[in-house]
Amino acid sequence: MATKKQLLHDRRKVRVKAVIKASAKHPILVVSRSLNFITAQIKEADGTILVSASDMKDTAKGTKTERATRVGTEIAKKAIEQNITQIVFDRNGYKYHGRVKALAEAAREAGLKF
């Protein structure tokens, strides 16, 4: 049985996914968050993963928000190396604050536009 918190998350996720559309020019930056880790992937419209970054290897270095900032910077650098500058941001049903916001702002500062 799903909790109320999970139901609200699922509703947000459906709302966000209904609006977001990927194209050849604008791939999607998808954020996935757990209690301990955060990952980010840039995907094409067909689901092919172009770039990914995670904080699973450097867990002892800094707070979760600081690690999310590093993931945002890392994914932006990898994307720019592959000539991806314009993306669509998919927060995947998570509220835009805390670690998700830190990742997004770090990616913007590193050169991604969304």
The 10s digit of each residue's pLDDT in 66-112 is: 999 999 999 999 999 999 999 999 999 899 999 999 999 999 999 99
- Distance in angstroms (rounded) separating the CA atoms of residues 38 and 64: 8
pLDDT of 36-71, one tens digit each? 999 999 999 888 999 999 999 876 788 999 999 999
| Partners of residue 54 on adjacent β-strands | 39
Query: What CATH number does the domain containing 61 carry?
Result: 3.30.420.100
In a domain, 105, yes or no: yes
In a domain, 36, yes or no: yes
Domain that holds residue 50: 4-109
- Distance in angstroms (rounded) separating the CA atoms of residues 104 and 36: 18
Check: CB of residue 75 under 8 Å from CB of residue 53.
yes
Nearest of 74, 27, 79 to residue 51 by alpha carbon: 79
Q: Report the residue count for the chain.
A: 114
In a domain, 114, yes or no: no
In a domain, 78, yes or no: yes
In a domain, 8, yes or no: yes
